[in-house]
Copies of this chain bind each other. A is one copy, B any other.
Amino acid sequence: MAATANTPPAQGSLQLRDQLCFALYAASRAVTARYRPLLDELGLTYPQYLVMLVLWERDAVSVRDLGGALQLESSTLSPLLKRLEANGLVRRERRADDERSVAVRLTEAGADLRERARAVPLAIGDAMGLTPEQDATAKRLLRLLTENVTRG
């Protein structure tokens, strides 16, 4: 009976609760859900918010570089950017020096949104409720995991 309670997860267990992958999947959706009401206020979805984070750091980014930063395909980004453009937050224009490439730039409204977005990471950090050490450890492990799983 003690075997059920305290046995460490067997290698290759098919039990849902043993699996890191599920903890990851559940946590990711839970965090996104937590963002939703805050981002609704800004008229953004979570992936749109990530794109805006990149543009607030550095304006005039190509779709390719956005994909590199966010690890997203152009087939995901193109429609998303179209929606951001329709909402008046970004403009897209072909690069003069390479007509294949498209530069995504903030509009005035897109740049202005930054101020209103400042409260978001604080609110989320607060909701996450991890100590700075836990936060750092989590980030370190998740990056290592991403690295390992992507290479391999």
Contact = CB atoms under 8 A, between A and B. Distances in A.
Given A16-B69, A23-B146, A129-B152, 12 more contacts: A8-B132, A12-B118, A14-B114, A21-B124, A22-B50, A23-B138, A24-B138, A25-B50, A26-B146, A129-B144, A130-B145, A134-B141
Q: Which DSSP category, helix, strand, loop or mixed, fits chain A's interface?
A: helix
10 contacts: A11-B122, A14-B53, A19-B53, A20-B128, A23-B139, A25-B46, A26-B70, A30-B71, A30-B149, A137-B137
Counted per complex, copies of this chain come to 2
- Counting contact residues on chain A (CB < 8 A from B), the size range is 35 or more
A88 interface: no
Interface of A: 8, 11-16, 19-35, 46, 50, 53-54, 56-57, 69-71, 114, 117-119, 121-122, 124-125, 127-130, 132, 134-135, 137-139, 141-146, 148-150, 152
